[in-house]
Amino acid sequence: MSTIEPENDFMLDQHHIWHPYAPLNGQYTSYHVTSTQGVHLHLNNGQVLIDGMASWWCAIHGYNHPRLNQAITQQIKTLSHVMFGGLTHTPAIELAKKLIHLTPEGLNQVFFADSGSVAIEVAIKMAVQYWQAKQQPNRTKLLTIRKGYHGDTFGAMSVCDPETGMHHQFNDLLMKNIHVDGPTSGFDATDVAHELRPLEQALHHHADELMGIILEPIVQGAGGMNFYSPHYLKGAHELAKSAGILFIADEIATGFGRTGKLFACEHAKITPDILCLGKALTGGYMTLAATLCTQNISHTISEKGALMHGPTFMGNPLACRVASDSIDLLLESHWEQNIRNIEARMLKKLTMCQNKPYVRSVRILGAIGVVELTRPVNMNTIQPYFVSKNVWIRPFGCLIYLMPPYTIEMKALDILCSAVYDAVNEIERLLL
């Protein structure tokens, strides 16, 4: 039996509990949250922070929402979990019905998964088994653009950026996919023909081995918070259709309103063959994801057998129930106006950072605000700095960004934006 030397909870956390993308050596501080309410995080020292991250973009309604609390409490009284193999239940059926209704037309088949990364794994398996069923097993590669991020599991890592991403040390172990330069001209660009050429060339050179194209529509998330044009997205979709291959849209970060549309694919009016959802699906209450596809894909695979994936907690009733209520809560709210208000406020406040030393660019779309620096921040100095300002902002690399809950009040958003502006004014001591 392992033993732990007597120590306080803080020291135990520092030396015994892994945190995301952090060494287990006590070098980085983790702040102890005791409760949450609205857009606020309450720390064990009595401090209250305004959350500018929506807990990695999923808590779109804020925290401790009475309606979602009630949904999950009611569900746990009757059915908290049951295996999905050979069994089904109302929460999964109701959620599937809503997703089929809301997502782009033609996505009629739903696979429930545990997390966004697993949703990507399922999408890749769908593509592999689809082409195997089509008697083209040589199609084993996906085409994607650099600076993308699709998750931390092995299939997902294989379509992340192999050079600038977080997973380069695993490159020798991953599927060998095709990565090309992506668009750089921004959301408002209309002439994107030259930016599509790398995709066109790759489609030509790898015509017989490609399964499909996979992209994060409109916004690349953790790979760099890059925004690109709906015209590019539409062009990439048309290239996939012309080549007769699949188009996979990773909307794990962008789904459920974050870019100002319910789904980012709507900016280009496209229907992907496969769509991955996660993060905001449950309003931040439970881990759940979904991979949707067309009947063509599901029927082609099913003619040859089963899709070979089946998580233990697939279709968990608690998660499905709270996701269903979260969707209802979103649709019944003034979410579009809320996001327009957030966008307008960040445009006004964050663009003040433009032309400051070390600032490369400022970009805002929907409820996403990004200040990109010319050099990386020092997390050991900038994180405590933001906490001292009573805000929770979690930069990474050269990026200081905001993705607040949609329910945030303008006064609280102003405080977040001011904290970013103040950090930029003191940026020399907050850089590496």
Give the separation between CA 427 and CA 103, rounded to whole angstroms: 42
The helix (run of H) or strand (run of E) holding residue 296 is: helix 295-304
Cα angle 96, 220, 403; round to 5: 80
Phi, psi (degrees; rounded to nearest 5) at 110: -125, 130
The residue from 63, 141, 147, 149 that is catalytic is 149
| List 114, 161, 250, 325, catalytic entry | 250
- Could you confirm whether 250 is annotated as catalytic? yes
Structure tokens at 259: 């870019």
Query: What burial class does residue 255 get, using C-beta atoms within 10 Å of its C-beta: 0-12 exposed, 13-18 middle, 19+ buried?
Result: buried
Active site residue: 21, 134, 181, 422, which one? 21
Local structure of 91: helix, strand or coil: helix
187 Cβ contact partners less than 8 Å away, ≥ 6 residues apart: 218, 227, 228, 229, 230, 363, 365
Is 149 a known active-site residue? Answer: yes
User: Residue 19 and residue 212: Cα distance in Å, rounded?
Assistant: 34
Q: How many CA atoms lie within 13 A of 300 on its CB side?
A: 17
Distance CA 174, CA 156 (A): 9
| Cα dist from 387 to 132, 172, 359, 391, 426, whole Å | 52, 39, 22, 5, 15
H or E stretch including 360? strand 359-365
Q: Answer yes or no: are the C-beta atoms of 239 and 232 closer than 8 Å.
A: no
Q: Is 279 a catalytic residue?
A: yes
The catalytic residue among 141, 147, 261, 279 is: 279
Name the 3-class secondary structure at 142: strand
Instruction: Give the catalytic positions in this structure.
Output: 21, 149, 250, 279
